[in-house]
Each structure stands twice: as structure tokens, then as C-alpha cells.
Structure 1
Amino acid sequence: MDTLMTVRVFCAVAELKSFTAAAERLGVSPAMASKHVMQLEERLSVRLLNRTSRHVSLTENGALYFEQARRMLEGLDELEAGISQTAVAPKGQLRLTAPVWMAGPLFASLLADYRARYPDVTLEVDLSGRLVNLVEDGFDLALRVTASPDPGLIARTIAEAPFYLVASRKFLDNRGLPTSLDELQGAPLVAYSLVHGDGVVAHETEKGRRTIKFTPVLLSSNETLMYHACLEGMGFAFLPTWMISDDLAAGRLECVFPDRLFFAGRLLAVYPTRKYLTAKVRSFLDFVVRDPRLKQSLHA
């Protein structure tokens, strides 16, 4: 049997969870599709699929093989298209990881518009907040806010994404609006645990680098929880403008020393080094970079 065809049949069965659907897609009989998968399992000496009369699912080994085989086939299709100078339509599953705070109407709208333009792409979006390894965890792309991206990855800037020190109107009414940075020493901070877990925040002055030692009252790696805690008046917090622009406009939150205390991050699209980007990744990159909504919403 054709080894490449065998791999294509297996990936189609794994994606569609059906021998019949995979056979229809590839123009072979269901019996031949089953034969291809059985031969692949025999050659590898492992079971790749769990089969019942109504259901097909991947085994642990099957999931690992599928992820690598899928990437190999996508790269091959892109290579052949580049050589033959034919266009490859974006298709397949795009696995994307992004910050927790992007879970909102604007990002959902952007994903919906992308999907309307590229209906053959299925989006799998991880917003768990964990820092994933793109290659080991099988992600195609990550959206990250950082001033220093991993040198082993390719990073494309989407927009500036500053984080400002903010507090709720309720909190400031009780405590008073600080008039100097010294008044922030010991102040309660809803802290992002991976950055300000110790409560120490550095800032630049005319006399050099200085630090403010806040008192962390809540530590979390989830910006959504931090946002709600800040609104409830627990303390100051550094939050992305994506989350707080409406609250700033409505007066529910207020920036504190916005010209001196902020994190000048960049929203980056990050992906592994590859000579040939798949059509789905390239199309999504171009889409988010050109979309004006991201640039507008990421500024206060």
C-alpha cells in the first residue's frame, strides 16, 4: 500500500471520527480505509484507534501520531503548492492559545469574522492562562503579551498592549486618590502571581530605577478574577486596556499615574520556526495583524 495514502487515511479517520466519512473524503471504500489503518497499526505495533460499532476515537498513541502526522501532511501540501505555484485554501484545525483576558465579545467577534471568511478552518482556542510549549503541546500559534519573546520562536507584533495601574472608584473614595508614588508603599495590590507575586513594582524616575513595595492581598494568574476583585475594591491592579476600556470610560475604574506606572507590553503572534507556514496559520496571522479592532481596543 501507498504509505503516504495510509497516513492520509488515518488522519482523515481521526479528524472525522468515522471510516465512512474519511472514505468519502478520499474517494476510497470504507473497507479500504479500514485496511489502511489496520496496516498502519501493524507496522507500528500499536493500536491507534479505539473502534466500536458507533464510535471511533484516538488512543493515547494515536493522538500523538495524529498530531505529528497532521503537521507533516500540512507541510507537504504547502511545499507542493509552493513549487507548483498553486494556492492552498486554509483548512483543518487551528490550535491557538491566548491570554485569559481575551475571553470577551471583541475576540469572539474577531474569531467569528475569521471563520466566516475561512469556513474550512476549525478553531480550537485555549484560554487556560498556562504558558504552553507550542511544539510539545501541539499548538499552531500563540497570542502573548511580552516584552521579550522566546528567541526560539518567531514573533509578529499585532499591537501595543499596555497594562495600567487601576483602582475602582469605590476603593479610591474610601482610601483617597494618591498624589505621589510614595503613597503607594504598602498599598493593597491584586497581583498577577507570575509577575508581581512579591508586590514589588519597578519604575523609572529622573534619578534612576526605583521600586514600590505593595502588599499583595490576592495573588492569581487569572486576569479575569483580578479584574473583578479590583472592581470590588480589593486594591490596585495592573490590567490590560482590552479589559478595562469600558470601565475607564464609565468611571468604574480609574488609572493611577498612567504616565509613570504601566507595563508597555506588546501583543505578539508567536509560532514555531518553520520554513513553510500552513495556509491556516498564515491566513490567521494576516487577519489579526490587519484587523483594526485589536489596535483600537488595546489602548486606553
Structure 2
Amino acid sequence: MDKLASLKSFVRVVEEGSFASAARAIGQSRSQVNRAVAALEDDLGVQLLNRTTRKVSVTPSGQAFYQRAKAILSDLGDAEDSIREHRDHPSGDIRINAPMSFGTLHLGPALVDFARTYPDIRVELSLDDHFIDPVADGFDMTVRISRPTETLALIDHKIVPMRRVLCASPEFTRTHGEPDDIRDLARLPCLHYGNLPSGARWKMTGPDGPVAVQVNGVFCCNNAEVLRDAALAGLGIAELPTFIAGPELQTGRLVSVLCDYAPGPLSLYLLYPPSRQLAVRVRLLVEFIQDRFGDQPRWDLVQ
């Protein structure tokens, strides 16, 4: 039995969800893939997959073995990359996870440029606003806008602070008046982000220190681009990151309010397992993102 080939077949079946799809992805016949996985199960003495006429599912032992097998294959790829480090054309796969809005507005275009620069590196981008564990979910890197993490399982690489501002449309401030006290948020219409544990309770730092206020939430969404559009329509005051609201703040379609108050600090982080640190493709991507978004990002150039 070619154990390496069997590992690759098993991992692909788990990821594809069927022997037929795995066989097409690998470029082998279904029977070859089936024999490779069966040989692996015989060698280990455990059942890795449940097979029915309709679908394939992973057993508990198979799930645990999948995580280790995936890590082994990834480490092997990293080792191959390190040998190729001095080649003119670095290659390999890199799987990246990122939040939806930042991914579509900024990271996606950056990765297009990265792929053009390094055509032999195959990029797979997955967008999801929920936290993804790079180790458990098989990603080489996770891009997150958050506070610092404290885990020995991941390298935490800070790129740049991510500002948030309170803002509204000029029409809204003309109609409702511009707030001059943080407590005004309890009566004025506000637009709040639906995924925050604090809900419609906004926490900020002002001239007298930290403050929290229960805002008058008239519109709630778990996507900040929708909240930006609602603010542009004059529905209320929104707490928005400048990577989303920057263009509108620059053109005056949105205006900052209560400028003496700032939401809690967040930063753009790259999270990746220590085993990926020496992979050439990961180092190149970290440097590329640092060059692209570090220092003063263009979305913060508000006049």
C-alpha cells in the first residue's frame, strides 16, 4: 500500500463528500480511490468512513484521523516549499478565510493582485463572518478584525488598527439635529450590528473614560455594508468601520458625529498555525498583505 497516496485519497473523500467526486478531483477511478481508503482502514484496523448507497459520512475515528492526516499532508507541502524557497516561481496551495465585507471590498482585490504576482500559488478564499479555527478547519491563514487573541496554537500577526466611527447622513443631522451628548443615542434612531454580544448597547471611550449607552435601535443587521446603506438613506446613526464607510466620509455623503467618542479598538490580524510560518507561500502572503494594508490604509484618509 502506498500510504501517502491512501492518505491523500482519504482526505479528498472527506472534503468532497463522495468517492466519485474525490476520484474526479484526484484524476483516478472511483474504484482506485475506494481501494486506497479500504487499504488504509485495513492497515489501521478501524472504520474511517460510513458508506451507504446515498452518501459517505465520517466516523468519529475517521474525523480524528482526518485532522491528523490533513496536517501531515500540509506539513509535507510546507517541507516541499522550503526546498523550493530559492526558486524563481514559488508554488503550492494556500487556503484563506476572512470576514465577508472586508473580503469582498479589500482582501479579494488584493488576492487577485497576489495571484497575478505569484501565478504558481493556487489561492482559495473562503468568506465567513464567524470565527474559524485555522487548525481545525484546515486553513493556512485566517484574516480577522478583532482584539488580540491569546492562544499558543496560532501566530497572531497584527497588520493595522481598524478605526470605527459614529456617523450619519447630512440629511439625518438636518432633520434630527446633530447629537452633542453621548446620551442622545438613547433617543435618536440608531443602526446597530446584529452579531455583537452587547446588541444595542454601545461601548465607547470618551473624554471622561469608558462609557456604555443603550441606543435607540431602530434597524439591526449583521452586515455593516447594509448598515452603511441604511445610514446613507437617513435612517439613523451607525457605528461603522472606516474600511466600509471611508469613501462616503471622504465625499461627505456621511458625516462623523460625537467625534470625542471612539468605539473600542480593533485591528486587522492574520492568524495562522506555527507549522505554516516557514512555508514560503505563507510568508509571501503575509508580506504582501502587510505592504498592501499596513501603515495608513487608504480608507482612513478622511479629510
TM-score, length-normalised on structure 1?
0.77
2:118 is matched with 118
SS, match of residue 163 in structure 2: strand
CA offsets, 1:103-160, max 9 Å, x none? 4343332121112223344433333311223333333222112233233432111112
Q: Tell me the equivalent position of 2:3.
A: 3
CA deviation string 1:207-262 (max 9, x = no partner): 44334332222333322222222222222111111111211122211111334334
- Say which SS state the counterpart of residue 267 (structure 1) adopts: strand
How far apart, in 2, do the equivalents of 1:230 and 1:64 lie?
47
Single out whichever of 195-204 and 63-72 deviates more from structure 2: 63-72
Alpha-carbon distance in 2 for matches of 1:200, 1:181: 10
- For 1:195-210, list aligned pairs within 5 A: 196-205=198-207, 207-210=208-211
Contact 1:162 1:298 in 2 (8 A): no
SS in 2 for 1:189: strand
For residues 60-79 of structure 1, what are the structure 2 equivalents within 5 Å?
Answer: 60=58, 68-79=68-79
> Which runs of 5 or more structure 2 residues have no equivalent in the other structure?
none
Tell me whether 1:268 sits opposite 2:269 in the alignment.
yes
Determine helix, strand or coil for the equivalent of 1:130. coil
Conserved in 2, the CA contact under 8 Å of 1:100 and 1:224? no
**1:99 and 2:88 aligned:** no
Q: Does structure 1 residue 229 correspond to structure 2 residue 230?
A: yes
Residue 146 (structure 2) pairs with residue 155 (structure 1): no
Q: Secondary structure at the match of 2:248?
A: helix
Alpha-carbon separation, structure 2, partners of 1:156 and 1:49: 40
Task: Return the offset for 1:268.
Answer: 0.8
The answer as to 2:293 corresponding to 1:278 is: no
Tell me the SS of whatever aligns to 1:89.
Answer: coil
> Shift of the alpha carbon at 1:179?
3.2
CA RMSD after TM alignment? 3.7
User: What is the aligned partner in structure 1 of residue 171 from structure 2?
Assistant: 170
Q: Secondary structure at 2:90's aligned position in 1?
A: coil
Deviation of 1:282 after TM superposition, in Å, equals: 2.7
Which has the larger displacement, 147-156 or 61-70? 61-70
Q: Which residue of 1 aligns with 2:255?
A: 254
Letter in 2 for 1:201: K
- Secondary structure at the counterpart of residue 227 of structure 2: helix
User: Which blocks of at least 5 consecutive residues in structure 1 are unaligned?
Assistant: none
What SS does the corresponding residue of 1:136 show, helix, strand or coil? helix
Q: Distance in 2 between matches of 1:284 and 1:12?
A: 25
1:129 aligns with 2:150: no
TM norm structure 2? 0.76
Alignment length, in residue pairs?
290
CA distance in 1, matches of 2:24, 2:182: 67
Take 1:115 and 1:176, find their aligned partners in 2: how far apart are those partners?
48
Deviation at 1:67, TM superposition (A): 5.5
| 1:4-43 deviations in Å (ceiling 9; x for gaps) | 343245557878946477468xxxx998766434422443
Alpha-carbon spacing, 1:30–1:135, altered in 2? closer, same or farther (3 Å): closer
- Equivalent-residue separation in structure 1 for 2:183 and 2:257 (angstroms): 13
Query: Given residue 168 of structure 1, which amino acid in structure 2 is its aligned partner?
Result: S
Aligned mates of 1:91, 1:9 — CA distance in 2: 18
Distance 1:91 1:81 in 2: 7
